[in-house]
């Protein structure tokens, strides 16, 4: 089974790239972030034509997450528990019955948190606390669990081409990195770092200052997996070439292959 995550940075603007990638990579489940589309205007027909079922949690103009899957999920939950007043569309979770096993996959678009010194950074940290609490509950069920998405957190200095450039950014603050560590320490595994310690492994390159051409990237798109999934983890890949396509997202897909 192949499970992927990709911050598409506007599904309508990247629809051709998305459908081309789906045809080439053929993931069983694809988690999208930053679709920037309401549910009713999501371009589902082009994706359904490729054989995918579409579940969205959209929002006009920004945010928005989606789950694309070859099999229809048994259930879907929209929104991260813990704050009924939070209207940001940043979390969608699906459950599939696969080979007698229960697989739960979430698509996550964690708040950016910038600029520091505004209400956006405390919101980011509070959102992370809600995610930690929800993940702890999910892990108690001992289902196959994949928490995939754009976490907007650079875990370690090795995950940035130029760590010093990010010292004043919410993505690299001690509080952000500490919250991500506490999430992982619940019993999750960073799938990519479980399979490689290779440096210069990035998932995002800014549109500015020739970041892509210089490979001045960062790694902020992660798939965190439960022990049950780690036991089945075969490989992890980054479709870096997609960043070189016409009108690309600033993120690229990250994929995990699981044994049957």
Instruction: List, for residues 189-201, the tens digit of each pLDDT value.
Output: 999 999 999 999 9
Question: For all residues of the chain together, what is the average pLDDT?
Answer: 97
159 marked ligand binding residue: no
What's the confidence (pLDDT) of residue 256?
A: 98
231 marked ligand binding residue: no
What's the confidence (pLDDT) of residue 99?
A: 84
What's the confidence (pLDDT) of residue 98?
A: 86
Task: Please pick, among 28, 150, 159, 190, the residue that the annotation labels catalytic.
Answer: 150
2-258 in CATH: which number? 3.60.10.10
88 marked ligand binding residue: no
Quick one: 129 exposed, middle or buried, by C-beta within 10 A (0-12, 13-18, 19+)? middle
250 marked ligand binding residue: yes
207 noted as active-site residue: no
Ordered by start, the domain boundaries in the chain are 2-258
115's tokens: 């600029």
Q: Scanning the structure block, which residue is given the tokens 């990709």? A: 6
What's the confidence (pLDDT) of residue 251?
A: 98
Phi and psi (nearest 5°) for 240? -60, -30
CA dist 239 and 237 (Å) reads 6
Order the strands of the 254-258 sheet from edge to edge.
Answer: 53-57, 65-69, 29-33, 2-7, 254-258, 233-238
34 marked ligand binding residue: yes
Task: Please pick, among 109, 151, 169, 202, the residue that the annotation labels catalytic.
Answer: 109
150 noted as active-site residue: yes
The full 3-state SS of 121-170, as one line of letters, equals HHHHHHHHHHHHHHHHHHHHCCCEEEEEEECCCCCCHHHECCHHHHCCCH
- List the beta bridge partners of residue 222: 149
Task: Please pick, among 57, 134, 222, 251, the residue that the annotation labels catalytic.
Answer: 251
CA dist 219 and 230 (Å) reads 20
Instruction: List, for residues 26-66, the tens digit of each pLDDT value.
Output: 999 999 999 999 999 999 999 999 999 999 999 999 999 99
Mean pLDDT calculated for residue range 152-166: 98
**69 and 29 in contact (C-beta within 8 Å)?**
yes
Residues 6+ positions from 122 with CB-CB distance below 8 Å = none
Could you tell me the pLDDT band of residue 260, with boundaries at 50, 70 and 90?
confident
Residue 159 has pLDDT above 90, yes or no: yes
CA distances from 149 to 18, 74, 109, 209, 211 (A): 16, 21, 6, 25, 21
What's the confidence (pLDDT) of residue 100?
A: 87
Q: pTM for the complete prediction?
A: 0.98
251 marked ligand binding residue: yes
């Amino acid at each position: 089974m192949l499970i992927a995550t990709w911050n598409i940075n506007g599904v309508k603007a990247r629809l051709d790239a998305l459908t081309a990638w789906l045809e080439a990579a053929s993931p069983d489940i694809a988690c999208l972030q930053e679709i920037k589309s309401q549910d009713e205007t999501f371009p589902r027909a082009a994706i359904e034509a490729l054989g995918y079922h579409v579940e969205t949690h959209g929002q006009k103009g920004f945010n928005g997450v989606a789950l694309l899957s070859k099999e229809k999920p048994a259930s879907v939950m929209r929104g991260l528990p813990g704050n009924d007043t939070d209207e940001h569309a940043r979390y969608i979770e699906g459950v599939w019955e696969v080979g007698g096993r229960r697989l739960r996959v979430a698509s996550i678009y964690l708040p950016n948190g910038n600029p520091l010194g505004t209400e956006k950074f405390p919101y980011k940290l509070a959102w992370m606390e809600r995610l930690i609490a929800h993940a702890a509950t999910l892990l108690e069920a001992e289902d196959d669990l994949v928490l995939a998405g754009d976490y907007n957190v650079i875990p370690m200095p090795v995950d940035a081409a130029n760590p010093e450039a990010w010292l004043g950014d919410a993505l690299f603050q001690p509080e952000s990195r500490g919250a991500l560590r506490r999430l992982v320490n619940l019993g999750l595994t960073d799938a990519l770092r479980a399979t490689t310690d290779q440096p210069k492994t990035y998932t995002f390159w800014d549109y500015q200052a020739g970041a892509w051409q210089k490979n001045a990237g960062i790694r902020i798109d992660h798939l965190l997996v439960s022990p049950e999934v780690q036991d089945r983890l075969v490989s992890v890949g980054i479709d870096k070439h997609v960043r070189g396509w016409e009108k690309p997202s600033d993120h690229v897909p990250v994929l995990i292959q699981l044994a049957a």
